[in-house]
A and B are shown apart, each in its own frame.
Chain A
Amino acid sequence: MKNPWKDLFKNPLIENPLNQPSEHSRRKFLFKVAVLLNGAVGAVLAVPVLGYLLGPVFKRNDSYNHWVPVGNLEQFPPGETRLGRYRNPEGTPADGQTRTLPCWVRNIDNTQFQVFAINCAHMDCPVHWFPQSKLFMCPCHGGVYYQDGAVAAGPPPRGLYQYKYKVAGNQLMIWAGELPTLSTQASVAKPGSKTCLG
């Protein structure tokens, strides 16, 4: 009785110690085809992997931002600058404490406001407001800004970032959702919006 599996487990090198060239080249060809197939599958697999990895990167600018409330108008008396808090519009419970974000709200005359990002334009450290000297000071590298957000001293390359705002009923809303940096500032303050004050 012939074992049908016998040929399958035959070691060609033992059976054919001379390793004839014709057989050799066929194996080589098959190996190359296999490698090529592997490469093709890898390339196909790379598409969803890269899509997953780069998903947050290539989202359309500004699509992160939403109108979010920073508080009731009574919290921001005219002529003063107060800390406002808003929720990251795309946040999740897993964000924990990082979900609530601060900003500085300056009520100029009850009709005009300026809403500044907390982040210094130099290295994104949190700036503090000092109502007595009417200055924002940054604890990191000594950036200082006037009350309208303009640079007063130190290394910042521009004034404080500003958010677009609107008053909806009794609430002050800002257009926010993105960490402002020198590259991502445009989505914070669009030209022609109400924010072009200082």
Chain B
Amino acid sequence: MSGIKQKSLELYRWFDRRLGLAKPITEAAEHPIPKSSASWWYVFGSAAAMIFGLQIVTGILLALVYTPTARDAWNSLNFLNHGMELGWFLRALHGWGSDFMVAIVIIHMTQVFMFGSYKFPRELTWIVGVFLLLLTLGMAFTGQVLRFDQDAYWGLGIGAAIMGRVPWIGGELVHSMLGGPIIGATTFSRFFALHVFVIPGILIALVAVHVWMVLYLGVSEWPMPGRLVRRSTYIQEYEADIQKDGVPFVPDAAWKDVAFSVAIILAIMACAFFFGPIGPSGPPDPTIIQTAPKPDLPFLWIYAVFALAPPALETPLLLIMPIVVICAMLGLPLYAGEGEKHWSRRPVAVLMVAVIAVSLSILTSLGQHPPWSPVMDAWSGDVVQPKYLKGRTPLQRQGALVFQQMQCRNCHALDGLGGQRGPDLDMVATRLSESELIRQVLQGGGNMPAYGSALSPPQVTALVSFLETLNGNERPAQNDVHRLMRSESAHSAGESQ
């Protein structure tokens, strides 16, 4: 036994005499950190790196089977899902790993922001981190394109439409994004090159720089209220802390990093196992237009912004806001490189995180069940409950038919079924009088199309008489006066003829 131990020690020495890495690696692993930072709050960065590793490994494994062309990608994904032993699980790991990576990177960034760790002398570590976030999002978007299905195809169109809004060079940007005038083989291939070569290459290099800076500058200490960061004194204070109660990174803090990474990898495995691979949805055939394209989870909030922003503000919002936000994130440590680190003394920072988190959550959850999109098959698919038809006149029932046939249901819900683009109509008769209903149907307005040219007068009469029954058994429409005026004017018109 000791013979084997002796042999392996000799082998180790043989390599280290030539590599010389044992000393720097040991020094890096055991570098002292403030005792306060050996905390569960400091585990997100290493978890992000661990997921990145998982993405590289699963990505390479998928590339063994995946066929990276616009023509064959979709088929090879289906082969991976159904024809290849455990191909579905590898796809699921890679897909869920992507969502987890985006989430963990954002959590890591939020923690660093709340703890003020971006302040002197770690400004550049933060700035590199901002680029790492952008590259991670870049991986998520390009990865979504490589899942070359209907959503990916139309997602590329949305990307091109955004590029097309850039003044002066919009056309050039569209062509350079698509690798030509139209979405096709070259478009796909350049997203493949970005996802597999360009972005991962930059990511690996920047992760190395990021980690190097963490080692070189030391792990940020746990913030204390009232303890200000000053450029002139910080380094001495930090060194003194380390002298006083520094602990080696391995094992004092590292066991938490490792434990958390394991938990995250297990969570990804569980999601992959129970929820399975993400897509692919329908084939990337643009002539199949029965689709409602939606972006992946990390971009749902942007999709919501497109729908909710006032149209006039949209282009400036789209083109200027990203630049402003990125510049603000990059400039943050240069602007606020000194001063308080503790969150209890930085109310604006806390408020910002709260507002951004709440806004992104609301926008994302809206994007999951978008109320602004018409439900394209509600007119032919959604049930008209008996209560809307029972005891109604033939004219009113005819109106219910017109209501369905003219796709009103695509935007207006009845009994909770149908589109939510326009108001629910269960109680419309309590809000609008007969004449107001007629006007609204014929002329539209308030973001509703005018149906004047699509409906014949008998159809309008039937539709409005149906809508007038929708009062939820409450006080029938507040329109007695209107009706009176209408019948009076009809009466007088009859007299004058």
Contact = CB atoms under 8 A, between A and B. Distances in A.
Interface of A: 53-54, 56-59, 61, 64, 83, 85, 88, 90-102, 118-119, 122-128, 130, 132-135, 137-142, 144, 146, 152-157, 177-179, 181-184
A182 B165 contact: yes
Interface stretch (B179-187, B345-353, B425-433): B179-187
B283 A97 contact: yes
Nearest to B75: A96
Q: Which of A83, A90, A181 has the most CB of B within 10 A?
A: A181
Given A58-B172, A126-B289, A154 B182 contact: no
Contact of A141 (B69, B72, B170, B373): B373
A70 to B, nearest CB: 12
Interface stretch (B19-27, B31-39, B124-132, B153-161): B153-161
Given A96-B72, A122-B161, A126-B291, A155 B180 contact: no
Contacts of A99: 184
B165 A93 contact: no
A183 B164 contact: yes
Nearest to A94: B185
B181 A177 contact: yes
B285 A133 contact: no
A158 B186 CA distance: 29
Contacts of A155: 306-307, 311, 314
How big is chain B's contact interface, by range?
35 or more
A123 B454 CA distance: 26
Interface string B60-84: 0000000001111010000000000
B373 A102 contact: no
Given A154-B447, A155-B306, A183-B165, A126 B154 contact: yes
Contacts of A92: 184-185
B452 to A, nearest CB: 10
Contacts of A184: 164, 170-171, 174-175, 181
A132 B407 CA distance: 8
B276 interface: no
Contacts of A53: 176
Contacts of B172: 57-58
Nearest to B408: A133
A141 B306 contact: yes
B289 A181 contact: no
B247 to A, nearest CB: 44
Dominant secondary structure at the A interface: loop
A153 B315 CA distance: 18
Q: Which of B287, B410, B421 has the most CB of A within 10 A?
A: B287
Contacts of A142: 307, 372-374, 411, 421
A125 B170 contact: no
Interface string B447-491: 111110110000000000000000000000000000000000000
Interface of B: 69-72, 74, 153-154, 157-158, 160-166, 170-176, 178-186, 283-287, 289-293, 303, 306-307, 311, 314-315, 372-374, 376, 379, 405-408, 410-411, 421, 444, 447-451, 453-454
Given A123-B306, A132-B406, A137-B410, A153 B444 contact: yes
Q: Which of A96, A119, A122, A178 has the most CB of B within 10 A?
A: A96
B153 A135 contact: no
A98 B158 contact: no
A179 B177 CA distance: 12
Contacts of B406: 132-133
Nearest to B314: A155
Given A123-B157, A133-B407, A181-B161, A83 B287 contact: yes
7 contacts: A61-B171, A96-B185, A125-B157, A139-B373, A140-B373, A181-B161, A183-B165
Contacts of B314: 155, 157
B293 A140 contact: yes
Nearest to B376: A139
Given A124-B158, A157-B311, 16 more contacts: A90-B180, A92-B185, A94-B69, A94-B184, A100-B285, A122-B306, A125-B157, A125-B158, A132-B379, A133-B408, A140-B292, A141-B373, A155-B314, A179-B181, A181-B165, A182-B161
Given A96-B70, A123-B306, A155-B314, A118 B374 contact: no
A57 B314 CA distance: 25
Contact of B184 (A85, A91, A122, A156): A91
B172 to A, nearest CB: 5
A152 B406 CA distance: 15
Contacts of A133: 406-408, 449, 451, 454
Contacts of A59: 175, 181
Given A88-B182, A90-B181, A57 B176 contact: yes
B176 A54 contact: yes
A59 B176 CA distance: 11
B164 A181 contact: yes
Contacts of B291: 126, 139
B71 A93 contact: yes
A198 to B, nearest CB: 13
Given A57-B172, A140-B292, A142-B421, A183 B163 contact: yes
Contacts of A154: 447
B293 A179 contact: no
B289 A118 contact: yes
Contacts of A91: 182, 184
A122 B178 CA distance: 18
Contact of A94 (B71, B173, B292): B71
A97 B182 contact: no
Given A97-B283, A98-B153, A140-B373, A183 B71 contact: no
